[in-house]
Amino acid sequence: MMTGIIFSNIYDTALGVLSANRTVASLPFGGRYRFIDFTLSNMVNSGVRNIGVITKYNYQSLMDHLGSCQEWDLNNKNDSLYIIPPFASGRSEVYRGKLEALHTSINFLKSQKSQYVLLSDTITICNIDYREVLEEHIKSGADVTLIATKPANYTDDHVVVVEADSDNKATKITLNYPASEKALVGMGMFIMDREILIKEVEEAVADGFFHFEKDFVQKKFNLGTLNINIYEFEDVVLRNKDISTYFKNNLSLLDEKVRKGLFKKNSPIYTKVRDEIPSYYGENSVVNECVIADGCKIEGFVENSIIFRDVKIAEGVQIINSVIMQGTKIAKDAYIENAILDKNVTITEGIRLIGASDNPVIIKKGETV
C-alpha cells in the first residue's frame, strides 16, 4: 500500500506567535483537535498505517500529543508511527525544505515495503480518502499525483497553482502566484512511487537543492521529465496559511456545511483523549452559534466562537467572534471580541480585548491579562 510522510514543521513561520513554541502540526484547531489529527486520521482511515512524522524543532508538544498513538490505532505490531528527528541521517543538517527533510528520513523510507508514498503537510484541514487518490494515481500512470482543490480566492498567492487538461494531466505549474479561473491550487499532498522518491531526494540533495515544489516538482515538470496527475478534491478544504486564515477557518466550523465536510461518521477524526467531564452550562449562560468542547464551565455570554476543552467563562463575561483554547480562564465581566486566546491564558476581571475580524488580538500561551 502506501507509507505516509508528514512534515510537522513546514510553514512554521507563517503562523507567527501561535507556532513560536510548538510545531505547526500541534496547533490547536476546532475545539479539541490539533492540525496533525486531521492528517493522521485521514491516513489511518485510508489504510495508510506506517507513518513517519518529520520534525525539526519544538516537537516536544507534538510528541506529548501523539503519545503511544493508540488513539489513532497505531500502537500495533505491524502498524506504527515513527517520529523522525532532524538529524536522523548521517550527513544532513537541520533541513531547509521538504527535499532535505525527506533526506533526513531516507533510512525510514528505505526500510518501508510499500510501493507508494503519500506526502502531506499539516496546515491543510480536510477529510479525504487517500485510497481513491491512489487508485486514480495508478490508473493515470503518472509519476506524481498532486492533490488540488478550487482556490479559496483569486487574489492571494498560492504555494502551488496548477492547470490540467481534460485527462487531469498537469499542463502548467506556477509557484507563489494567484490562481486563474481555470486553475486549481495544491493542498500540499502528493502521492508517488517510493523508489523514485528516494532516488530523486538523494540526487537533488547531492546537488544542493532543498525545495520540493520548486526544485523537484516544477523543475522536472518544466524539463518535461515528470508526468503529473492532478486529483481534484471537491469537499471542504481549510488551508491555514497565516493567522488570519487560521482564525477564519476555526470560525468556519460554525457553518454546518463545513462541519459535515470535516466530521464524517465513517472516517472520524481522532485526537488525544483527555478524560474531561461534559461541559456545564450555568443558570445565566447564553450560547449562540458556538462550537464547544468538553470540560468547560460556561456562566456568561458566548457568540460565534470556538471554545476548546476545560475553558472557564465566568458570569457577566461576553465573548464574541473568538477562539478560546484549552484551559483558559476568563474572569467576571471581561469583554472579548475578535481574539485568539492561546492555551492556559488567564483574563482577569473586567478586561476588554477587542481585535479586528481580519486581525484578531492574540494572547500567548500561559499569559495573564
Partner 1 sequence: MLDRQKECIAMLLAGGQGSRLLVLTEKTAKPAVPFGGKYRIIDFPLSNCVNSGIDTVGILTQYQPLELNDYIGNGQPWGLNRNFGGAHILPPYAQSKKMEWYKGTANAIYQNLSFVENYNPKHVIILSGDHIYKMDYKKMLKYHIKNNAECTIAVRDVPMAEASRFGIMNTNEDGSIYQFEEKPANPKSNHASMGVYIFKWEILRKYLIEDEADTTSDNDFGKNIIPALLRDGRRLFAYTFDGYWKDVGTISSLWEANMDILDGQFNLKDKNFKIFARNYAQPSSYISASSDIKHSFVAEGCTVKGKVKHSVVSTGCVIEEDVEISDSVIMPGAVIKKGAVIKYAIIGEGVTVEENCKIGDNPEYFDKDSWGIAVIGKGETVEKNTIIRPNEVI
Residues that bind partner 1 (CB under 8 A): 30-32, 70-71, 253-254, 256, 259, 262-263, 268-271, 273, 275, 277-295, 303, 306-308
Which CB atom, from 87 or from 263, has the smaller least distance to partner 1?
263
Residue 85, helix vs strand vs coil: coil
List Cα–Cα distances, 87 to 52, 154, 210, 211, 259, in angstroms: 14, 39, 15, 18, 39
Name the DSSP class of 277: P
Beta bridge partners, 361, equal 339
Cell numbers representing residue 115 in the block: 510501493
Shortest Å distance, C-beta 302 to partner 1? 8
Which CB atom, from 146 or from 324, has the smaller least distance to partner 1?
324
Handedness of CA 209, 213, 216, 218 (dihedral sign): negative
Cell numbers representing residue 167 in the block: 485527462
Shortest Å distance, C-beta 292 to partner 1? 5
The strand pair at 361-363 and 339-341 is best described as parallel
Which CB atom, from 269 or from 363, has the smaller least distance to partner 1?
269
**Cα 110 from chain centroid?**
26
Residue 140, helix vs strand vs coil: helix
Shortest Å distance, C-beta 287 to partner 1? 5
Tell me if 27 sits within 8 A of 19, measured CB to CB: yes
Which CB atom, from 204 or from 262, has the smaller least distance to partner 1?
262
Shortest Å distance, C-beta 278 to partner 1? 4
Which CB atom, from 103 or from 312, has the smaller least distance to partner 1?
312
Shortest Å distance, C-beta 298 to partner 1? 8
Which CB atom, from 25 or from 269, has the smaller least distance to partner 1?
269
List Cα–Cα distances, 51 to 41, 84, 261, in angstroms: 11, 10, 24
Which CB atom, from 157 or from 289, has the smaller least distance to partner 1?
289
Residues 296 and 329: their CA atoms lie apart, in Å, by: 10
Phi first, then psi, for residue 188 (nearest 5°) are 75, 25
Which CB atom, from 90 or from 278, has the smaller least distance to partner 1?
278
Residues 81 and 64: their CA atoms lie apart, in Å, by: 14
Shortest Å distance, C-beta 47 to partner 1? 17
Shortest Å distance, C-beta 291 to partner 1? 5
Shortest Å distance, C-beta 367 to partner 1? 21
Which CB atom, from 149 or from 326, has the smaller least distance to partner 1?
326
Shortest Å distance, C-beta 346 to partner 1? 17
- Encode 297-327: b = buried (16+ Cβ within 10 Å), e = exposed: bbbbbbbbbbbbbbbbbbebbbbbbbbbbbb
Burial of 51 (0-12, 13-18, 19+ CB in 10 A): buried
